[in-house]
Chain A
Amino acid sequence: MDLAMDLSQKVGLALALVFLLLLYASRLEVKARGSPPLRPLRALESLRRALNRAIESGKPVHVSIGTGSIGERDTAESMAGLAVLGYVEEQGSYYRTPVLSTFATPSTLVAAYDARRKATEAGGTPPPGRIYFLAPQKIAYAAGASEVIKDEEAQVNVMIGSFGYEYLLLGEMTEHRGIEHIGGTTDPRVLPFVYASSENYLLGEEIFAANAYLSSNPGALASLLAQDRMRTLLAVLIVVGMILKSLGVIGG
């Protein structure tokens, strides 16, 4: 056993342990006191409304969870997207509203079939609408998804998950067709585009809140709570660091 860890590993381990404790405490808290008050997230409200409109109009809802996969760095983002997809699929099953979902990686495709199975269990019938596996190349995926949205005349386009520049490609193509879109991703280089192309956006880790908001799953609520506490701590540290660096107190 060689425990020769470098600094980042130590910090990572410490962070994970603190987080584990926070997570456990939050889990107990949620169990004891129920759901914490949640700050309203406009994009998720818009998502519900857009879903209502789709149900009214009978037109399909398109959900993209991005071009990430399960089993790699972007697993968490993909899972956040899958949570949204699960919610939409369930609604689609209840109200017979077509749900289209498009995928760029096979691992998420398999998870999508699973989400549809669960929605079927919950709602009785599988939601109408297809699951598409498009292409592992991001740009090809964006082009394909845009065609699916066009061909199936989707009412709303939901893009929450792991996206690169293809977010802008897909988002603008749907926006130009007059289709509402709701998006969110974590990649900082894409966030300006997320902000610019739609008014209904989830920035950064807000996408991880989607699961808790939509499903009210206690585990998701607990982790949301734990994330918030941890983030508050880190945010304070960052602001202090930024001030100190601007003043030249610390360098590097």
Chain B
Amino acid sequence: MKKVIPTLVAFITGIIVLADFLIYNPLLDQVSNSLLNWALLVAAFAFIVGLLNVLIVHFTRIIKRERGWPYSIVLVLAMWLVIIFGVLDPRGPQGPIVSWVFRYVQYPLQATLFAMLAFFALSAGYRAFRRQTVDATIMLVAASLVFLGQAMLISEWGKWFAAIKDWILSVPTVAGMRGILLGVSLGVIATGLRLLLGMDKPYAD
């Protein structure tokens, strides 16, 4: 019984949402929407677990003086400051303090970190091509052609490179992408069906 009920709940919920996607029916729509709202609530509660995890992990680090523990102090303090100001402000997360934190801390930090991606892409690409395999060579050639097609610097030849680039992007790439996406969606469908049918109950018992 302990195992039947979760499976049954998963099955019925899944069937309702699936049917709602395929069939237009007002009642089904309503039930399905409520279920999705419940899912939101559950997800929100999961955030409390996340909060507790952060607190426990970082308090442990501070108490045990683990490597990098001062950063844990900064983290916990910053977290509470943002939470407190966010809650105290009548406009919530859109209040001036949280907005300030977003604009002058989060935004530049994230953008800067992301900019490092360009460098990492370069070093990863460099390493990949140093493997000197057939696939790496194909990748290098294709990448060169696409880059040249986008470069917009050489106006006379530009249209030829652009044509090649368009062909690469619209024929082999899209076909390959479709293959990957279809393969992935097969995996997704399989996972969904397996969960739906209770063939495996990975996190339900």
Give the interface of A toward B (CB within 8 A).
1-5, 9, 12-13, 15-16, 19-20, 23, 27, 69, 71, 73, 75-77, 79-80, 82-83, 86, 103, 105-107, 109-111, 113-115, 130-133, 137, 139-140, 142-143, 147, 151-152, 165, 168-169, 171-173, 175-176, 186, 188, 191-193, 195-197, 199, 203-205, 207-208, 217, 219-220, 222-223, 226-227, 230-231, 234-235, 238-239, 241-242, 245-246
Contact = CB atoms under 8 A, between A and B. Distances in A.
B120 to A, nearest CB: 4
A227 B188 CA distance: 10
Nearest to A197: B124
Contact of B46 (A15, A107, A238): A107
Given A109-B50, A196-B124, A219-B194, 7 more contacts: A19-B190, A131-B57, A193-B121, A195-B128, A196-B127, A197-B127, A197-B128
A248 B97 CA distance: 59
B74 interface: no
A139 B116 CA distance: 11
Contact of A226 (B54, B110, B190): B190
B179 A241 contact: no
Interface of B: 21-25, 39, 43, 46-50, 53-54, 57, 66-68, 71, 106, 109-110, 113-114, 116-117, 120-121, 123-125, 127-128, 131, 135, 139, 171-172, 175-184, 186-194, 199-200, 202-203
B186 A106 contact: no
A76 B176 CA distance: 21
A139 B113 contact: yes
Contacts of A239: 175
Nearest to A10: B22
Contact of A151 (B68, B110, B171): B68
A165 B114 contact: yes
**Main SS of the interface on chain A?**
helix
Contact of A223 (B49, B175, B177, B194): B194
A172 B182 contact: no
A86 B201 CA distance: 13
A62 to B, nearest CB: 14
Contacts of A245: 171, 175
A226 B191 CA distance: 11
Given A132-B53, A147-B68, A235-B179, A223 B190 contact: yes
A223 B123 CA distance: 37
Contacts of B124: 168, 171-172, 175, 193, 196-197
A226 B66 CA distance: 48
Contact of A238 (B135, B178, B189): B178
Contacts of B123: 172, 176
Given A19-B186, A82-B202, A196-B125, A188 B180 contact: yes
A20 B46 CA distance: 32
Nearest to B182: A234
B43 A15 contact: no
* Nearest 4 CB-CB pairings of A with B: A106-B46, A208-B187, A196-B128, A172-B120
A43 to B, nearest CB: 15
A205 B172 contact: no
A195 B123 CA distance: 13
Contact of A1 (B25, B139, B179): B25
B17 to A, nearest CB: 11
Contact of B23 (A2, A111, A172): A2
Contact of A71 (B43, B68, B180, B191): B43
Contacts of B175: 238-239, 241-242, 245
